[in-house]
Structure 1
Amino acid sequence: MKKLVIACALTSMFVLSASANASEFTINPMVGASNSKAMGTKAAIGLEAGYSDFVFGYTYSGAEKGQNINTSFETDVMPGAPDVEMIQVSGSERNDYKAHTLYLGYQFDMGAGHLAVKAGAEFSKLKSVGQYELNNATPGQEGFEQAELNLNADSNTVVKPMIGVGYYMDNGLNFNLHYTFHSGGRDMKGTGSVLHTGGLDAGAVSYSVEDKDFSTVMFTVGYRF
């Protein structure tokens, strides 16, 4: 999907450049940063092609975010039994997030430049890798003493709406603000394995990432030629 999105963007820009007069066609490389609650602040790049008052653009941002896990929970030793077992969980996990956006825009004369309004779609994917160690933390309780759990999961490509504005000064300098609406759950699928008493393949794994706000604010600065 990533290669298809990039290929479509570059092909469309080439078609525009081939069919436009030199005075009507513009290229606008952009650099900046994007921010979401789920992935924090990350670098962003983009490229716009302009023809007359129309704008076609592409942006990319990606980030890796890791964290250490150290928590515990209680579970029943046997269903219906009054005793509980305390399980200690430690380990780490890493999330790799990539987002590609395609959009169209139209610009209007404003002051010493042009104001463009933009709308499009973001195509994003999340990959998660986790390594966890589970220990029986209840003194005197029988049961497993230690187990290791490994997970490797990917989400499908998620498509979300994007809106934005850009102000292009007559000297070529421009400023762009984009926003993608993207909050809620995300389905993850992959494989898992458990290392305990000889090892066990957990097989297919399916779960949802809940309450993650991937909504993104992106600010870029460009120079239009």
Structure 2
Amino acid sequence: MKKVLLACAVTSMLALSASATASEFTLNPMVGVSNSKAMGTKAAIGLEAGYSDFVFGYTYSGAEKGQNINTSFETDVMPGSPDVEMIQVNGSERNDYKAHTLYLGYQFDIGAGQLALKAGAEFSKLKSVGQYELNNATPGQETVDIAELSLNTASSTVIKPMIGVGYYMNNGLNFNLHYTFHNGDRDMKGTGSVLDARGTDAGPVSYSTSDKDFSTVMFTVGYRF
């Protein structure tokens, strides 16, 4: 998917360049930052091609984020039994997130420059690797190692809408603000293994994340020539 998006962006910009005169065609490299609740602040880069009053653009941002896990949950000792035991979970996980955006825009003359309105789509993917240790943590009982769980999962490519604005000064300097909408839900699929007394292989695993808000605000500065 990444190679396809890059190829589409480059091909479109070259096509614009071949059909435009030097005064009509512009290129605008951009650098900046993007921020989401799920991945925090990360670097962003982009490239826009302009032809007359139309703009075609591409941006990329990606980040890796690790976190330690320390939580617990209750489970039935036996189905139908009133007794429960507490399971303590300790471990760590690392998330690798990549987002590519393609968009179109149209600019209007305003003041000493041009204002562009933009709309497009973001294509993103999340990969997660986790290592977890499960212990019996029921009060009054001796702590016992239950299992070690390993997961390696990834989401399919998720497509979300993007909107943005850009202001281009006549000297070439420009400022751009983009926003991508997410609802936080993302299906994850992969493989896992459980190390216990039996050396169990967990096989295929599947789950959905619902608490990771990938809605992204991106601010970039560029120079158009």
TM, length-normalised to structure 1 = 0.96
Shift of 1:53: 0.7
Q: Is the 8 A contact 1:101 1:123 kept in 2?
A: yes
Structure 2 SS opposite 1:122: strand
Does residue 49 of structure 1 match 2:49?
A: yes
> Within the alignment, does 1:210 sit opposite 2:206 as a pair?
no
Is the 1:85–1:141 Cα contact (8 Å) retained in structure 2?
no
Percent sequence identity is 85
Q: Distance in 1 between matches of 2:88 and 2:211?
A: 24
Aligned equivalents of 1:145 and 1:221: distance in 2?
Answer: 53
> Offset of 1:73 from its aligned partner?
1.5
- Distance in 1 (CA, whole Å) between partners of 2:131 and 2:172 is 49
The aligned counterpart of 2:79 is 79
Give, in whole Å, the separation in 1 of the partners of 2:218 and 2:85: 47
Name the structure 1 match of 2:192.
Answer: 192
Q: Which moved more, 1:144-153 or 1:43-52?
A: 144-153
Amino acid aligned to 1:214? F
Q: Distance in 1 between matches of 2:60 and 2:95?
A: 17
What's the offset of the Cα at 1:184? 2.7
After superposition, the C-alpha distances for 1:187-207 in whole angstroms (9 at most, x for unaligned) are 010001000014111010010
Alpha carbon RMSD of aligned pairs, Å?
1.5
Q: Which residue of 2 aligns with 1:135?
A: 135
Offset from partner CA, 1:46-86 (integer Å, 9 cap, x none)? 00000111100000000111110111111111112222111
Alignment map for 1:56-205 (pairs within 5 Å) = 56-138=56-138, 145-205=145-205
TM-score relative to the length of structure 2: 0.96
**Cα distance in structure 1, aligned partners of 2:36 and 2:141:** 44
Deviation by residue 1:87-128 (Cα, 9 ceiling, x = unmatched): 111000111110000000011111101010000000000011
Q: SS at the partner of 1:213?
A: coil
Worse-matched range after superposition: 6-15 or 79-88? 79-88
Contact 2:55 2:107 in 1 (8 A): yes
- Supply the distance in 2 between the matched residues of 1:67 and 1:107 (Cα, whole angstroms): 42
**Tell me, which stretches of 5 or more residues in structure 2 are unaligned?**
none
Amino acid at match of 2:121: A
Q: Report the residue type matching 2:62 in the other structure.
A: G
Is residue 2:217 matched to residue 1:222?
no
CA contact (8 A) 2:135 2:143 kept: no
CA distance in 1, matches of 2:176, 2:154: 31
Cα distance, 1:139 vs structure 2: 6.0
Shift of 1:38: 1.1
| 2:137–2:143 CA contact under 8 A, matched in 1 | no
SS where residue 199 of structure 1 aligns? Answer: coil
Output the amino acid matched with 1:67: Q
| Uncovered stretches (5+) of structure 1, i.e. residues with no partner | none
Residue 79 of structure 1 aligns with an amino acid whose one-letter code is: P
